[in-house]
């Protein structure tokens, strides 16, 4: 089923934009001197900002616990026990301003949004070796003190299946969000960022379900790891997808058609007319334009 035809994605959008199609929180528009910027970059930055961090860094251990709570896969007592075993002081994160207070906060909607943002951006980072590699088993005395890593094929296939599902869900969701954002041209970057965050928050539960469904539907897909280094990660699939992450971010294609990346989503470039320049600068340009008009001689 096409995502754009799935009613589960449409209902949350109505909550954000209103049943009559008007936004609940209208923002001042200024289409004069607007610059067309890729919606993908704006949406991606908005979603990244929704991921809780500690000292500016992602914390996979804690966010996986947040996701376990958000999905109902673990109870509060189980998560608390896991954190204590990791030497984490729960009283230190009890304050609501702590980035990981979601671990003990009972607001499920906040957990779901944070989890969805964490999952959505997981395809935009280099994977750790622990995701699909294990220590090599050595039996010879010469290699007893030497540790090496080898790929665990079972872990690799599962991890690549998850990455594929996330990339596909990101492309679907971000395209839907871009379509909605295009309906309100002339906003500032800050307003587009706020609008994108509101849309993602409304769609977060459906997004997590979408990832789950896509992973299940791709269970028979075969994968080929093409490259893995400290700067690049690339794999291809039997379904015609190519996943590549490097210095220029995530580039995901389907049968050579850009599905995510290079400013494109589902093969299309979505552009937002952004009120990009400072109002003082645009007023100077308008004044200069008016001066040129006055200075232009009138033909008899």
Q: Render pLDDT for 133-146 as a digit per residue (tens, 0 to 9).
A: 998 876 655 555 55
Q: Output helix, strand, coil percentages for the chain, rounded to the nearest 5.
A: 50, 15, 35
Write down the residue that tokens 């308008």 correspond to: 286
With beta carbons less than 8 A apart as the criterion, state whether 242 and 262 touch.
no
Which of 72, 153, 56, 80 lies closest to 115 in space, CA to CA? Answer: 72
Give residue 292's pLDDT: 56
What's 238's DSSP letter? T
Give residue 1's pLDDT: 38
Give residue 156's pLDDT: 96
Ranges of the chain with pLDDT below 50: 1-7, 11, 19-27, 294
Determine the Cα–Cα distance for residues 299 and 111; give it in Å rounded to an integer.
Answer: 68
| DSSP codes joined into one string, 236-275 | EETTSEEEEEETTEEEEEETTEEEEETTEETTEE-EEEE-
DSSP H or E stretch at residue 271: strand 271-274
189-217 vs 153-181: helix axis angle to the nearest 10? 140
What's 144's DSSP letter? T
Which of 210, 232, 240, 251 lies closest to 126 in space, CA to CA? Answer: 232
Give residue 62's pLDDT: 87
């Amino acid at each position: 089923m096409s995502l754009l035809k799935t009613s589960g994605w449409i209902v949350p959008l109505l909550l954000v934009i209103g049943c009559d199609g008007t936004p609940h929180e209208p923002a001042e528009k200024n289409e004069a001197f607007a610059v067309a910027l890729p919606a993908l970059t704006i949406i991606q930055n908005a979603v990244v900002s929704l991921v809780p961090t500690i000292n500016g860094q992602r914390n996979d251990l804690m966010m996986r616990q947040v996701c376990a709570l958000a999905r109902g896969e673990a109870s509060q007592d189980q998560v608390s026990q896991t954190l204590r075993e990791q030497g984490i002081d729960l009283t230190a994160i009890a304050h609501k301003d702590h980035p990981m207070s979601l671990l003990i906060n009972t607001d499920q909607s906040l957990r779901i949004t944070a989890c969805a943002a964490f999952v959505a951006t997981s395809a935009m980072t280099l994977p750790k070796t622990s995701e699909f590699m294990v220590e090599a088993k050595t039996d010879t005395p010469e290699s007893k003190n030497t540790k090496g890593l080898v790929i665990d094929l079972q872990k690799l296939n599962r991890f690549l299946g998850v990455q594929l599902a996330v990339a596909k869900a990101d492309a679907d969701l971000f395209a839907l969000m871009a379509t909605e954002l295009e309906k309100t041209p002339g906003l500032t970057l800050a307003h587009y960022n706020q609008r994108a965050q509101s849309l993602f928050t409304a769609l977060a539960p459906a997004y997590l379900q979408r990832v789950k469904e896509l992973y299940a539907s791709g269970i028979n897909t075969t994968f080929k790891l093409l490259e893995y280094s400290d700067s690049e990660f690339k794999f291809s699939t039997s379904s015609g997808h190519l996943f590549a992450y490097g210095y220029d971010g995530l580039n995901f294609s389907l049968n050579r058609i850009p599905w995510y990346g290079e400013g494109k989503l589902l093969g299309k470039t979505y552009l937002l007319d952004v009120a990009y320049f400072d109002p003082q600068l645009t007023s100077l340009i308008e004044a200069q334009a008016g001066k040129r008009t006055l200075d232009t001689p009138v033909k008899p």
